[in-house]
Structure 1
Amino acid sequence: MTFEAGQLGESGPELASLLRELRKRAGLSEDRLAARCNMSQSKVSRIENGRTRPSLVDVEAILRALEAPPELVAQASALARMANTEWRNLRELRRKGLGTRQAELKGLEASSAHMRYFLLSMITGLLATPEYVRASLAHSPADTSKAVAGKLERQAVLYDVSKQFTFLLTEQAVRWPVVSPLALAEQMDRLSSLSYLPNICIGVIPVGSVTPRVPLNAFTIYDASLVTIETSAGSLVLRDGRDVQTYLKEFAGYEECALFGEELRARLAEWSAACRA
C-alpha cells in the first residue's frame, strides 16, 4: 500500500472502520474480541469508534484474533503505521504561525515527565539565551516575534522539578556560530549553569568520539510514548511503541559517549574562553 506524506496521521477513521467491519465479519462481539486480545471491552470500543489511536501491537493482536485474510492484514497494518506517523511540513507550520508551534510544544512538555533531546547542529530553545533564540529564527520569512516569546516562555518548565530533562548535544551544536563569539560564550555559560539543576542532565559528545551509529537528525523523545524528528523540511512524529523504543536505544548509545558534570563544565569553560579570546 503506497501513500503520500500528507496522508500520514490521517488514516485513523479508516482504520477504525476496517477493524469494526472485520470483527462483525468474524461474528464476534466486542467482549469476545477483547477477551481474545487480552484487552478491555471499552478499549476495543474506543478503537473501533476512532476515539483511541491503536498501536501497531494492538492492531496485530486484533488481526490475529480475527484470523483476518492476508490482504486485509496488510491493509490494516499499513493504515495503523500511517495513523501512528505524522508529517508536519515546515511551510504548513509557518502558515499556521510559528507561535502556534510553540504552544503545541508547551503542551507536550506539560504532559510529559521525562524528555530526552538529541541536538545535532543547534541548541534547543529551552536551553538558549534570548540572543541565540532570535538568531536561530532570523532566516525565517515569517514574523518570528511570537515564536521568540513562546520559546523563552517555555523555558519556565525547566524549573519544574517534577519533570526530568536529558539533553545530549554534539560539540558542533554547542560551537556552531549561530551568534557572535561573545554571545556564543554567554550561551555556553548558560549551558554550564543549567547543568547544576537537579532535574536537568546535559551531556556533550566531543568531536572525535566514536558513536554506535552516525546520527542523521535531531530528535526529541517524550517519555516512552512519542518521538519527534527534525529535518530541514519539517518534522516527523512517531507514536508507535516499537519506533519509540528504537530511538530510546539510539539515545542511550549516544549517552555513553557524552561528557557530563565537571567534565562537561570544564570543556564548556575551555570553549567559552576560546570565544572570548
Structure 2
Amino acid sequence: MNRAQLGAALRALRQASGKEAKAVARSALMSPSKLSKIENAKLAPSTMDVERILTAIGVSDEVKAEYTDAARASATEATAWRLLKRTGVHKGQQAAKALESQMSMLRLFQPALVPGLLQTPEYIRAVLQRHSLSEDSLSRTINGRLERQAVLYDTTKSLRFVITEPVLRWRIVPPQMMAAQLDRIVSISRLSHVDIRIVPLGIQQHDIANHAFVIRDERMVTVETVHAEVVVTDPRDVCLYAEKFGGFERAAVSGDTMRNLVEGIRDEFLQEQETG
C-alpha cells in the first residue's frame, strides 16, 4: 500500500465513522493541517501517526492491525535535522511530549549526553546552541524540553535511563553548571518510578556503546544520528534494541552506588571551580 492508498483509506475510515477531521486530529494529538496532508497523500505518516489516527477514529483492533502493518512496511523512517530545523525544532519537542504522554514505559540509553528529560536549563541551552537556531526558536525549544520534563513526575509511568560514565564528565557547560547538572541526576534518581543507572568506565565491557536510543513501550525506537532522527517500528528491530538496553542495564550500577559515583564526579567539578 503506497502513501496515496493509505491516505485515502484513512480518510474513508474517518468519514465512515462520522467524525469530523478536527475532532480526529485533536484526539490523535496532531494539527488538522497535518491530518489533511496525510489523508491527501501530501505527507507520509509514521506508524505512530497511523496508530493514533485509527485510535481516534475508533476502528476495531483487526482494522488497526491491518493499516499499521501497512505503514510499518516502511519500518525505518528518517527525518533529516535540516528538515526539522526548517519546520521548527520546537515542534520536535511537542511531538516527543505527545509520544511520552501515551507511553507507559521509557527505556533510554545515552553514551554521549545527559538525557533531555534530565537536563538543566543551562545544559539544554548549551546543547541546542550547536544548531545555530534563532533566539526565538532556541527559547521555544528550551521551554518545550522543560515542559516535557513534567513526565518525570507521572508515577503511572516507568522511566529507565542508562548512561555511560563519560557523559558525566563531558564538559558541555562550565564546572559549576556541570556540578548542578549532576545534582539534578541524583535528585531525580530518588523518584520511586525512575531508575537511573551508570555504566562505569572501570568495569569490563561486553558490548559497544554505538549511539543513543530511546525505546517507548515495546513499539518504537528513536535513534538520533548525525544527520537525522530515525524511527524504528519493526518488532524484530525493536527487540534488538531492547536486548542491547538490557545488557547495558545489567552492567550498570544503580541506587546508592550510582549516586556515590555521580556525587564523586560532581565534587571533582566543585573542587575545580574553587581552585580555578
TM class by shorter chain equals 0.7 to 0.9
Paired residues, what number? Answer: 218
Q: CA 1:14 to 1:258, structure 2 compared with 1: closer, same or farther past 3 Å?
A: same
**Distance in structure 1 (CA, Å) of the matches to 2:104 and 2:219:** 11
**Distance in structure 2 (CA, Å) of the matches to 1:46 and 1:188:** 43
Alignment partner for residue 54 of structure 1, among 65, 69, 79? 69
- Supply the AA of the counterpart residue of 1:204: I
Aligned residue in 2 for 1:114: 105
Asked if 1:211 corresponds to 2:211, the answer is no
Give structure 1 regions of 4+ aligned residues with deviation exceeding 2 angstroms.
10-17, 41-48, 208-212
**Distance in structure 2 (CA, Å) of the matches to 1:43 and 1:188:** 44
- Supply the AA of the counterpart residue of 1:158: L
Q: CA 1:206 to 1:97, structure 2 compared with 1: closer, same or farther past 3 Å?
A: same
- Supply the AA of the counterpart residue of 1:187: Q
Q: Note the residue ranges of structure 1 that are not aligned, 5 or more in a row.
A: 1-9, 18-40, 56-78
Aligned residue in 2 for 1:226: 220
Asked if 1:146 corresponds to 2:118, the answer is no
Alignment partner for residue 201 of structure 1, among 185, 195, 200? 195
Write out aligned runs for 1:7-18 (5 A).
Answer: 11=2
Aligned residue in 1 for 2:247: 253
Equivalent pair of 1:167/1:202 in contact (CA under 8 Å): yes
**Distance in structure 2 (CA, Å) of the matches to 1:163 and 1:43:** 24
Larger Rg: 1
Aligned residue in 2 for 1:131: 122
Cα deviations by residue, 1:166-185 (Å, 9 ceiling, x for unpaired): 00001111221000011001
Equivalent pair of 2:72/2:233 in contact (CA under 8 Å): no
Q: CA 1:80 to 1:271, structure 2 compared with 1: closer, same or farther past 3 Å?
A: closer
Aligned residue in 2 for 1:86: 77
Equivalent pair of 2:97/2:148 in contact (CA under 8 Å): yes
Equivalent pair of 2:76/2:232 in contact (CA under 8 Å): yes
When the two structures are superposed, what TM-score results if normalisation uses the length of structure 2? 0.74
Shift of 1:224: 0.2
Shift of 1:210: 2.8
Q: Which range is displaced more, 205-214 or 193-202?
A: 205-214
- The SS at the match of 1:53 is helix
**Distance in structure 2 (CA, Å) of the matches to 1:85 and 1:183:** 37
**Distance in structure 2 (CA, Å) of the matches to 1:126 and 1:199:** 14
Give % identity.
Answer: 34
**Distance in structure 2 (CA, Å) of the matches to 1:264 and 1:46:** 42
- The SS at the match of 1:126 is helix
Equivalent pair of 1:16/1:47 in contact (CA under 8 Å): no
- Supply the AA of the counterpart residue of 1:171: E
Q: CA 1:100 to 1:220, structure 2 compared with 1: closer, same or farther past 3 Å?
A: same
